[in-house]
Structure 1
């Protein structure tokens, strides 16, 4: 029997240890810049934070309810809907009617309370939320020393819920500055100062809980989430970083009860800064407009276009005579970069375009025909109103059956235009029937939708659709990229074209 030498035994032990997978150990990161007290910072900032008191007429109160929500109205079905409904009910103005018989106080003026902050001491400008002052007939601002000053409304931007006021005073004021909200990262300390429930000059501390929150309030949602206590009356107040710079404007909260549960939302300062500057210059905001209908690039769409990883914003339609169409952007292009800014996903693009100065000749990098191309688009001003999609009815119509896709298609005849309420200039191939268990139903295709393109090529007859689908199958392609126009406008649909039933039978 051969004995192992100590060296051999040691080497054997090392080899055995190397064969066992080691669990990685996270290196401990020491806490940095943890404040022992917020007192010095709070004392410095309090004089620049104000209470905004807005008087409203009964008609304005009934029409606009400016005193009721201290955050924007939640869309139906969102997680905020129940909170806002409860919040409105529990904060209706006295004498506002309700059960128990009418209480006749028709001439009583209402009042709403919010917060704000002085952004320019020389020009006497105060920033707050639009929903705080909306419908107001008289606006007063109360400083931290309880001095009341009358204010005039310079301008508002309902899309981002920002308003700019000017104080009518000659007294010396204390102002704060906007900081760089991009530098406020998750876990960083922040300080909220405002007037919750009318309790002036209240200070609360917390951290940045999340970035780029979309709470379904509009195209420009990019909120900072914080657990610093924010309540009714904090709306329009500042969210400070530890350098005393404003990194957000407190705007909304999520709560089942109406009180803070540590989920508050603030408009990033980098978005607010440009809005405030435009309101100061002309009292309104001029937004850039590209003139495209876009959709998200899914993995399947990216695969069908040869774009990996999937990214950018897919152009479903470049509106006729719009800036994009004039600049050479086509249906089916994927916008990867706009004006030297990366478009990571679809929802980034509207905000980037809106923040671009009207008249700018912006370079746009698109993915087209399997490669990147650059076009130049001159940005126009966003129109005040955008056209609404036309409603369509959905009767049945006899057609060609596209085997394995779960749908039937037919030509757009005069009878079909009338029955499906199609536009006179509508071109393409009409979807007349969808199998609820087929691939088309999985993609939410419906009778009355119109196939405009297959694999980025125009189609005008059912036979053209069928021919191009069969050609893709011969190429062993898993999906076909359809451009479909329906109630909500045009969108690209990656449709599975492999017949799973036939594959099982082989």
Structure 2
């Protein structure tokens, strides 16, 4: 009798499993494959090619994950003519910094075409490949070298400087596919693998852990302006999204565009940058979360461009110093500095001085978290924002608007607030005693400097006194914002007194 029950249970399980498979097939059979999202296409692919991987974290054996992922990570080889090489950074005084951060190639200025290299991740069996924008930007020729040594020509489907993502396509079939994971489920401390083509090496796998999530390093904000097409009368609003997964898995030049995967062999990020003074690995690498990448890639396939939804606010991430400066009790959350007239937030009733606490019921306490999660949405999508106002939490329903709706009479305010965010500093008015001590009539003190932001990069320390910005005296944050709005030619001029008492004046480029 027990055997009969066992046989019956086995048959029932098989029947249910078969029914689920048939149901999944029926779900997609009437839907054109070209209209499916990447997630849906992958569900079809892995329904027919089920993964046998299980997490190997317990035994610290990464062989199964490495074997499953490596065939789907490709070498991307690019060729540039001389003029393209110049656009890639020739003559840029900060080019070396970008080379170190992004692992780019130093291209000699000659008539000989220069070469570049990076990595890419195959996400569909018919040849869609995720990579970085900076790997393929301005390339005259793109080749993809598979692990079986085949060399295929690739074309760009879409690229986006705001996220440093690109989608390229090769004409092929039955290619090995890397399974998409869920970057929201990634935990700090979990084991990950980085797969790519670093330096002059072939396919390489390194292991490490997730060191941090939602990390902003300020690199996209600096590298997101085309100096040849910059209009100082209409400066662009900073729309870059930085919410990197930080890892200590070894990443070097050439790894850009490669895979960061978990121990189940699932893609959780696209490797993009390293923090380095030498240009080679020094302990920290950064990957774009796959959930953001999936949305951007789907936009490329469906629309040919990225469709971004905007809340229509500028904000500052609260900390104890800024809270004291703003005279608010909260030290966590996002302080709304301004709203865009006619934007989603203003239309819903959100005001300056509100403190954003939650997005769709989940905590959104850092600018990186909020920007990444909104970055996955499109104009017309509905979200709820919970803000703290007058000591009480209030929830507002918003309908996101497109980029054009985020412009208008508040554009200068938006641009100034974005510049202030990129500077990575907070300011406090000087006391009369300080002004008397230094013999100055105006000034604000730098009360904090965020790591990786522009003040940190240009070594403007805490305690510095800023007397003028763009030739305008500043005594408070409002005046700082007004002075930043006067920046021209993507340059900012700052004059002040260093903590040791020395006077300084310098000008540097900044994303507005």
TM-score range, shorter chain: 0.5 to 0.7
Partner of 2:483: 487
TM (normalized to structure 1)?
0.64
TM-aligned CA distance change 1:336 to 1:205, over 3 Å: closer
Partner of 1:45: 69
Q: Which segments of 5 or more consecutive residues in structure 2 lack a partner in the other structure?
A: 1-55, 222-239, 417-429, 434-439, 448-462, 487-512
Q: Which segments of 5 or more consecutive residues in structure 1 lack a partner in the other structure?
A: 1-31, 98-104, 392-403, 408-431, 452-480, 491-506
Partner of 2:100: 84
Is the Cα–Cα contact under 8 Å of residues 71 and 147 in structure 2 kept in the other structure?
yes
Partner of 1:236: 257
Partner of 2:372: 351
Partner of 2:164: 161
TM-aligned CA distance change 1:327 to 1:385, over 3 Å: closer
The higher relative CO (CA closer than 8 Å, separation ≥ 6) is in: 2
Partner of 1:19: none
Q: State the alpha-carbon separation in 2 of the partners of residues 134 and 317 from structure 1.
A: 34
Deviation at 1:308, TM superposition (A): 5.3
Which string of whole-angstrom CA distances, capped at 9 and with x for unpartnered residues, describes residues 182-222 of structure 1? 33323322112111124221222222233332211245222
Q: State the alpha-carbon separation in 2 of the partners of residues 241 and 174 from structure 1.
A: 18
Residue 115 in structure 1 maps to residue 111 in structure 2 = no
Partner of 2:45: none
TM-aligned CA distance change 1:384 to 1:174, over 3 Å: farther
Out of 340-349 and 242-251, give the one that drifted further: 340-349
Deviation at 1:482, TM superposition (A): 8.1
Deviation at 1:126, TM superposition (A): 0.5
Is the Cα–Cα contact under 8 Å of residues 312 and 345 in structure 2 kept in the other structure?
yes
Matches within 5 A, 1:84-163: 84=100, 92-93=106-107, 96-97=108-109, 105-106=110-111, 108-121=112-125, 123-163=126-166
TM-aligned CA distance change 1:345 to 1:44, over 3 Å: closer
Q: State the alpha-carbon separation in 1 of the partners of residues 298 and 136 from structure 2.
A: 19
Greater helix fraction, Structure 1 or Structure 2: 2
Q: State the alpha-carbon separation in 1 of the partners of residues 102 and 180 from structure 2.
A: 34
Q: State the alpha-carbon separation in 1 of the partners of residues 359 and 465 from structure 2.
A: 29
Alignment coverage as a number of residue pairs = 370
TM-aligned CA distance change 1:326 to 1:351, over 3 Å: same
Q: What SS does the aligned partner of 1:380 have?
A: coil
TM (normalized to structure 2)?
0.63
Partner of 2:228: none
Q: State the alpha-carbon separation in 1 of the partners of residues 66 and 376 from structure 2.
A: 32
Q: State the alpha-carbon separation in 2 of the partners of residues 314 and 489 from structure 1.
A: 20
Which string of whole-angstrom CA distances, capped at 9 and with x for unpartnered residues, describes residues 390-442 of structure 1? 99xxxxxxxxxxxx9639xxxxxxxxxxxxxxxxxxxxxxxx943789x9x99
TM-aligned CA distance change 1:60 to 1:292, over 3 Å: same
Out of 112-121 and 210-219, give the one that drifted further: 210-219
Deviation at 1:301, TM superposition (A): 6.5
Q: State the alpha-carbon separation in 2 of the partners of residues 443 and 324 from structure 1.
A: 34
Q: State the alpha-carbon separation in 1 of the partners of residues 247 and 358 from structure 2.
A: 30
TM-aligned CA distance change 1:288 to 1:119, over 3 Å: same
Residue 57 in structure 1 maps to residue 43 in structure 2 = no
Partner of 1:416: none
TM-aligned CA distance change 1:318 to 1:442, over 3 Å: farther
Is the Cα–Cα contact under 8 Å of residues 129 and 169 in structure 2 kept in the other structure?
yes
Deviation at 1:173, TM superposition (A): 0.7
Q: State the alpha-carbon separation in 1 of the partners of residues 101 and 272 from structure 2.
A: 17
Task: Give the greater-gyration-radius structure (CA).
Answer: 1
Matches within 5 A, 1:193-342: 193-217=195-219, 218=221, 219-299=240-320, 309-342=330-363
Partner of 1:412: none
Q: State the alpha-carbon separation in 2 of the partners of residues 296 and 212 from structure 1.
A: 13
Partner of 2:437: none
TM-aligned CA distance change 1:482 to 1:261, over 3 Å: closer
Is the Cα–Cα contact under 8 Å of residues 356 and 385 in structure 2 kept in the other structure?
yes
Out of 111-120 and 218-227, give the one that drifted further: 218-227
TM-aligned CA distance change 1:75 to 1:34, over 3 Å: farther
Deviation at 1:450, TM superposition (A): 8.7
Q: State the alpha-carbon separation in 2 of the partners of residues 84 and 74 from structure 1.
A: 13
Deviation at 1:449, TM superposition (A): 5.2
Q: What SS does the aligned partner of 1:381 have?
A: coil
TM-aligned CA distance change 1:372 to 1:41, over 3 Å: closer
Partner of 2:186: 184
Is the Cα–Cα contact under 8 Å of residues 336 and 344 in structure 1 kept in the other structure?
yes
TM-aligned CA distance change 1:333 to 1:60, over 3 Å: same
Q: What SS does the aligned partner of 1:196 have?
A: coil
Which string of whole-angstrom CA distances, capped at 9 and with x for unpartnered residues, describes residues 212-266 of structure 1? 3221124522222222221111110101111000111111112333332332211
Q: State the alpha-carbon separation in 1 of the partners of residues 443 and 255 from structure 2.
A: 52
